[in-house]
Amino acid sequence: MRELSIYNTLSRKKEVFIPLHLPHVGMYVCGPTVYGDPHLGHARSAITFDVLFRLLQNLGYKVRYVRNITDVGHLQHDADEGEDKIAARAQLEQLEPMEIAQKYTERYHDMMRELNVLPPSIEPRASGHIIEQIALIEQILAAGYAYVNEGNVYFDIERYEQDHHYGTLSGRLVEDLQANTRALDGQESKKNPLDFALWKKASPQHIMRWPSPWGEGFPGWHLECSAMGMKYLGEEFDIHGGGMDLLFPHHECEIAQCVAAKGKPTVRYWMHNNMVTRNGQKMGKSLGNFITLQELFTGEHESLDQAYAPMTVRFFILQAHYRSTLDFSNEALQAAAKGLERLQNAWQLLEHLTPNPQNRFEVETYENRCWEALCNDLNTPIALSVLFELAHEIESATRGAVQMDAETIKRLQSLFDTVLGDVLGLRKTKQEASNSEALDVAMRLLLEYRAEAKARKDFATSDRIRDALKAAGIEVQDGKEGATWKLS
């Protein structure tokens, strides 16, 4: 098995990936909070870890990939107080919170399908794991790292600091954090402003509520990932991923919860994808400067010069390394569309190349460079640059300027299929969706040509066209006002 290195946020360096239970890999990634249309930021996180999922499988690992749906507990401003994001949206749209969750889960799935993001092995919902979350709170309480106050349960940072260290992932220090935190309204029931909610008491008007040993309420946002990660991947597992905006406090709190409950950390490799920016500022729902995927695919947004195909968006994301920021601009997306087209073109040209027995082309170094890039902390831009070099060679081969034999062509096809197709998840051609209009125009032209043939009594030609089309499932009907066609 080829060696894979990944950057571990925990150690702040690249490490060789060694799974706990070869050949199995357990991987958890924070999924969406389903209260709005998915945007470019969602796409970046999903695509980054989709490529990791695909790469691991391609290297021969058996991966259990868990990506959750947050449908409860994520409060506005990512805070411990305020309205639940989904409930607030439900009020706005006059729907039951679970209708909102359903609607935006559907939207998310639709967009992921467009982007060719594979479904995870398990997609647990936070609201479906209240029992597991309550059990985890009970363990943290039993270990002494949490306290109950007026129907709420809070994680006790000061107590935790006596035995462990809060801040291992983010490198932040509790004393610094405390110096920078002011007491907020509504946080009176906390001993310390840094403490975070494990369980929140539901106010009378709060719809999403469950019974618990502390009264009716709902779980804190950080809790679900700890509970569901351990449920489906065990108390120790390989990889936890998510966007860099989740590093602190979300993932820091996850670590504290697991250490408090189990005495040891759960996750071995923490991975974070960087943000999508717009004019240098993070793109996000809370900032209001985001562009939804739907808008990108249709071009319906004032900042967009045109529509961008899902594969263009995927390619745009993969052209940057996942740990770099990615700045949105029309120019960058248009360049991505051109770049992708060139690779797809080369990929298709391979099917039609005439082999030359006088091979002058050595494919192996390219193969190695591709895989080395992918296995070097998912360096997708380098892998793509190698494929661009190959595209140039393939184009030269079509002009006879480079000689490739059948074996070389086959290996190149396999490399494009595997790296560009299977691992990077790009499709070989434009999607079917655009076929319809093209077919209309092609058929219109073809029927004109057939009408001309008939006009000059060349019935052999007109019949040949009709029969060939019929065999391909297109039925031509001759009528008073000319011929019409339909798919049969």
Which residues contact a copy of itself (rule: CB under 8 A)? 64, 95-96, 98-99, 102, 106, 109, 119-125, 127-131, 135, 210-211, 232, 341, 345, 348, 352, 398, 429-430, 432-446, 449, 465, 468-469, 471-474, 479, 484, 486-488
Pairing of strands 326-328, 276-278: parallel
Residue 141 and residue 87 in contact, taking contact as beta carbons nearer than 8 Å: no
Q: Is the peptide bond before 23 cis (omega within 30 degrees of 0)?
A: yes
State which residue, 100 or 194, has the beta carbon closest to a copy of itself: 100
- Closest separation between CB of residue 424 and a copy of itself, Å? 20
Q: In terms of residues, how long is the chain?
A: 488
State which residue, 136 or 177, has the beta carbon closest to a copy of itself: 136
- Closest separation between CB of residue 466 and a copy of itself, Å? 10
CA distance 461 to 457: 9
- Closest separation between CB of residue 313 and a copy of itself, Å? 17
- Name 178's Cβ contacts closer than 8 Å, sequence gap at least 6: 192, 193, 194
State which residue, 129 or 272, has the beta carbon closest to a copy of itself: 129
- Closest separation between CB of residue 127 and a copy of itself, Å? 6
State which residue, 228 or 293, has the beta carbon closest to a copy of itself: 228
Q: What share of the chain is helix, strand, coil (3-state, %, to 5)?
A: 50, 15, 35
CA distance 224 to 470: 56
State which residue, 184 or 445, has the beta carbon closest to a copy of itself: 445
DSSP state of 306: S
Residue 384 and residue 336 in contact, taking contact as beta carbons nearer than 8 Å: no
- Closest separation between CB of residue 94 and a copy of itself, Å? 9
State which residue, 125 or 268, has the beta carbon closest to a copy of itself: 125
**The dihedral sign for the CA sequence 346, 348, 352, 357:** positive
Helices (H), 188-242: 221-233
State which residue, 20 or 438, has the beta carbon closest to a copy of itself: 438
- Closest separation between CB of residue 117 and a copy of itself, Å? 13
- Closest separation between CB of residue 152 and a copy of itself, Å? 19
State which residue, 145 or 218, has the beta carbon closest to a copy of itself: 218
- Closest separation between CB of residue 128 and a copy of itself, Å? 3
Helices (H), 115-264: 130-142, 157-163, 174-179, 221-233, 252-262
- Name 265's Cβ contacts closer than 8 Å, sequence gap at least 6: 168, 236, 255, 258, 259
